[in-house]
Structure 1
Amino acid sequence: MSKSVIQTDRAPEAIGTYSQAIKAGTTVYLSGQIPLVPDTMEMVSEDFAEQATQVFNNVKAVCEAAGGTTNDLVKVNIYLTDLSHFTTVNEIMSQYFNKPYPARAAVQVSALPKGAQIEIDGVMELPE
C-alpha cells in the first residue's frame, strides 16, 4: 500500500517532525491541529470559542486537501486544557459535521503546544 503526504497552505504548517496528514489507501490520518492562523502561524486569540472555530477550520482544510470533507472523518480526538468547554465544543462541532457524527473522544490534558486550549486530530475514510 502506498503512503502519501497531505499538505495545504489553508492549514498551519507542521511545527515539528510530522505531516499535516498521511494518506494510506483510502484512510487519512490527520495530525493534531491547534488554533494557529495559517497565514501568520499565530494563535487566533485567547477566546476559547474562537480557538475551537479556528481548529475546526484547520481540520476542514486538511480534510479537503486530502479529497474529503469533515463528514468523512470516522474518528475524532479532542484535547482540551479545560473540560468545562465541552458544551462549547459540541456547539461549534455541530456546524462542521452532519449526522451520523464520527466516533469521538474528548479529554482534558495539562498543556498543549504554544499554549493552545484545544487540539483536534482524527482519522478519515475517503469514499472509494
Structure 2
Amino acid sequence: MKEIIYSENSPKPIGPYSQAVLVDRILFVSGQIPLDPKTNELVKGGIEEQTKQVMENLKGILSSTGMTLDNVTMSFVYLKNLQDFPKFNEVYAKYFKEKPPARVTVQVGDLPRGSLVEIAVIAYKF
C-alpha cells in the first residue's frame, strides 16, 4: 500500500511531487534542498549551512513516520560543485556518526532555486 507523507517540519513541495512516499516499510524521500520550512525560502550561507538545513529537513520528514536518520539505508547527493565535497562531508558526517547509509554523490549543472546541494534518501522502518 502506498501512503503519501507530509510533514510541517519540512518545506512544502515546490512542484508536483510528494515530500515522501511510504510503501510497506520503505520510505522514499524526495530530494530536499535547503529551504527554511517556515518561509519556504533558500537559507543564506555556503555549503555548510545549506547541508545542515537539508539534513534537518530530512529529519523532519523521517520523524513524521516515526523514523530517524538511523533508518536511512541509501542517500543520493547532488552537489552543484564537487569542490564543496570536503565541506559537505564534514557536515554530513555529523548526522551519520555510526553505520552511515550507502551513498551516491554527483555534481550537477544546476539545482532548484540556486541551491548548492540536494539530497534524497530511502529509509527502512525496522
* TM band (smaller chain): over 0.9
1:18-62 CA distances to partner (integer Å, 9 max, x unpaired)? Answer: 000000000000000000000001111142211111011101111
Q: How do residues 50-69 of structure 1 correspond to structure 2 at under 5 angstroms?
A: 50-69=49-68
Q: How do residues 80-99 of structure 1 correspond to structure 2 at under 5 angstroms?
A: 80-99=79-98
Q: Higher mean Cα deviation, 92-101 or 55-64?
A: 92-101
What is the deviation of 1:5?
0.9
The ranges of structure 1 where at least 4 consecutive aligned residues each deviate by more than 4 angstroms after the TM superposition are none
| Identity level (%) | 37
Amino acid of the residue matched to residue 104 of structure 1?
A: R
Unaligned segments of structure 1, at least 5 residues = none
CA distance in 1, matches of 2:90, 2:47: 12
Amino acid of the residue matched to residue 97 of structure 1?
A: F
2:71 maps to 72
1:42 aligns with 2:33: no
CA distance in 1, matches of 2:68, 2:56: 11
1:11 aligns with 2:10: yes
What is the deviation of 1:107?
0.4
TM-score (ref. length: structure 2)? 0.96
Query: RMSD of aligned C-alpha atoms?
Result: 0.9
The SS at the match of 1:42 is coil
What is the deviation of 1:69?
0.4
